[in-house]
Amino acid sequence: NAGVTQTPKFRVLKTGQSMTLLCAQDMNHEYMYWYRQDPGMGLRLIHYSVGEGTTAKGEVPDGYNVSRLKKQNFLLGLESAAPSQTSVYFCASSPTGPDTEAFFGQGTRLTVV
């Protein structure tokens, strides 16, 4: 039982490069979320999805795009990476909404130089 899997676990990007972070869940959950964790800032919501084919903006969406073409996958894209996007990124899923237990992946440590 894999739960929530994030790929890759580590990545170093140069300023201006693009990349996609993949989140996959095998629990048939409807809701999926992307967060970033920065020192002193806690976890901040970037984008979220309430079901296949849907996406919505969170607290800090600028510079990121997302897609949920398949229910089990939620992709986070950085079109032109900036040093301010250096962070640890977490994906999470929950069965029916944010009031139910959310399951997190192990995180992706991204460094933009």
> To which residue do tokens 């962070």 refer?
87
Q: What angle do CA 108, 85, 69 make, to 5 degrees?
A: 60
**Cβ nearer to other proteins, comparing 72 with 104:** 104
Q: How far is the CB of 14 from other proteins (least distance, A)?
A: 25
Of positions 50, 60, 65, 71, contacts other proteins by CB under 8 A: 50
Q: How far apart are CA 88 and CA 102, in angstroms?
A: 18
User: Nearest-CA neighbor of 74 among 98, 96, 101, 46?
Assistant: 46
Instruction: Choose the stretch contacting other proteins; rule: CB under 8 A; options: 12-20, 39-47, 61-69, 72-80.
Output: 39-47
Residues of this chain that bind other proteins (CB under 8 A):
4, 31, 33, 35, 40-45, 48, 50, 56, 58-59, 90, 92, 94, 97-99, 101-107
